[in-house]
């Protein structure tokens, strides 16, 4: 794995006085209607914005929200502009598009200290295609580019890579903190180093698992990933690509001496519903037609025992369907065990970060990444296109 912080151009070194600075932020926040459910990503970008304002820059913010197919009225960023203005305690002017003559004129009429938030960049097909004309139109709006959207560093999009290739480009403070924090786990983690891996689908976690077992002392596997992993080890009937990958990961862990700890029991039910009958069952003796939606109490105790001994922890993926009681107990218990451990603990963003925040456990861990997919890609040692564009 490489240390992505080496050679990374940092925003502190940028000359921004009197200039218009395009800042790619990740304001892809969870929304319920027009209400923001968690503003952590908004607050995370504030230090970079304040630094640029203090140095006399005009700040123009670019973000995506959701996965729109063209213009989607439900995914406009107006509510985000309102919340950002509250956090910054200064006006934030939200524009109705992210390119075009009207946008250019509005920005040109501004002055140092002004903050603009452009409309959802994913309303334009050219964003995810990294289309040259769209990237050029964005770049024409500013003099300097700052990427402070860690959660999108693994995406080669127009607003992450295309603009960075056209303007002097620097890493914002949030991106720096993410990269420097995760690099600590790559270079010299304090041991025992324990990984907790969960989530719904094994396919999305196999790359991370394959890399983690070459570095950690133990990996604790929960969520839907655990059931797929168990089936791959126990079933001789299946011999597909997924099964072969899991068996290779397990063999690599055994060869290195890293423990792979799987659930012994689970909370099972006939359906994922708060009203469904839920019972604890041995993972090898689950009722026919029922599914496991959380790790059971015996598994919680075993996982907690490993976490108590840990000095470094990385956690990616909840232990169950934490959004629906009573299937939230396993995730909460593991969060509490991580908090009690005293270890250097990194939460890999995404659903895990949302779960930790919603359960009031955020203050008990060392660091919550703002990017689930980007965090795992970094820990897998993958080259992140937008980080490469910053010299990282």
Catalytic residue among 350, 353, 371, 372: 350
- Give the residue ranges of DSSP H helices in 241-294: 241-256
- 201 counts as catalytic: yes
Nearest Cα neighbor of 229 from 213, 241, 247, 253 is: 247
- 350 counts as catalytic: yes
Catalytic residue among 207, 373, 381, 391: 373
List for the chain the helix, strand, coil content (%; round to 5). Answer: 40, 15, 40
Tokens representing residue 136 in the block: 């050029």
**H/E element holding 146?**
strand 144-147
Q: How far apart are CA 99 and CA 121, in angstroms?
A: 9
Catalytic residue among 201, 244, 254, 255: 201
- 19 counts as catalytic: no
Q: How far apart are CA 198 and CA 262, in angstroms?
A: 11
**Omega cis (within 30) before 288:** no
Catalytic residue among 24, 41, 177, 329: 41
Class of residue 67 by CB neighbours under 10 A (exposed 0-12, middle 13-18, buried 19+): exposed
Under DSSP, is residue 180 helix (H, G, I), strand (E, B) or coil? helix
Q: How far apart are CA 205 and CA 225, in angstroms?
A: 8
- 112 counts as catalytic: no
Active site residues: 41, 201, 350, 373
């Amino acid at each position: 794995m490489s240390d992505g912080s080496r050679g990374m151009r940092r925003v502190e070194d940028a000359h921004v006085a009197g200039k218009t600075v395009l800042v790619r932020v990740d304001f892809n926040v969870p929304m319920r209607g027009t209400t923001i459910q968690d503003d952590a990503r908004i607050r995370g970008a504030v230090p970079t914005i304040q630094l640029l304002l203090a140095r006399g820059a005009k700040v123009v913010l670019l973000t995506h929200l959701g996965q729109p197919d063209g213009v989607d009225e439900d995914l406009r960023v107006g509510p985000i502009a309102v919340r950002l203005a509250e956090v910054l305690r200064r006006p934030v002017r939200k524009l109705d598009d992210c390119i075009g003559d009207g946008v250019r004129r509005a920005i040109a009429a501004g002055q140092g200290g002004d903050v603009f938030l452009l409309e959802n960049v994913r309303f334009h097909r050219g964003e995810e295609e990294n289309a040259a004309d769209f990237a050029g139109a964005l770049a024409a709006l500013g003099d300097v580019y700052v990427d402070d959207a860690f959660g999108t560093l693994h995406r080669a999009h127009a607003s992450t890579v295309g603009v960075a290739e056209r303007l002097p480009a620097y890493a914002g403070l949030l991106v720096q903190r993410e990269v420097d924090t995760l690099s600590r786990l790559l270079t010299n983690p304090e041991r025992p180093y324990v990984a907790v891996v969960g989530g719904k689908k094994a396919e999305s976690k196999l790359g991370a698992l394959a890399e983690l077992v070459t570095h950690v002392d133990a990996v604790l596997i929960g969520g839907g990933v655990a059931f797929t992993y168990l089936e791959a080890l126990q079933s001789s009937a299946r011999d597909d690509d997924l099964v072969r990958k899991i068996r290779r990961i397990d063999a690599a862990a055994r060869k290195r001496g890293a423990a792979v700890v799987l659930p012994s029991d689970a909370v099972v039910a006939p359906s994922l519903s708060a009203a469904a009958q839920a019972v604890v069952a041995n993972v090898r003796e689950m009722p026919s037609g029922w599914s496991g939606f959380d790790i059971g109490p015996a598994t919680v105790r075993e996982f907690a025992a490993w976490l108590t001994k840990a000095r470094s922890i990385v956690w990616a993926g909840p232990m169950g369907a934490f959004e629906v009681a009573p299937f939230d107990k396993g995730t909460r218990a593991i969060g509490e065990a991580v908090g009690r451990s005293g270890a250097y603990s990194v939460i890999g963003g995404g659903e895990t970060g949302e779960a930790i925040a919603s359960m009031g456990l955020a203050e008990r861990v060392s660091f919550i990444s703002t990017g689930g997919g980007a965090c795992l890609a970094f820990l897998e040692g993958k080259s992140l296109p937008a980080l490469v564009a910053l010299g990282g």
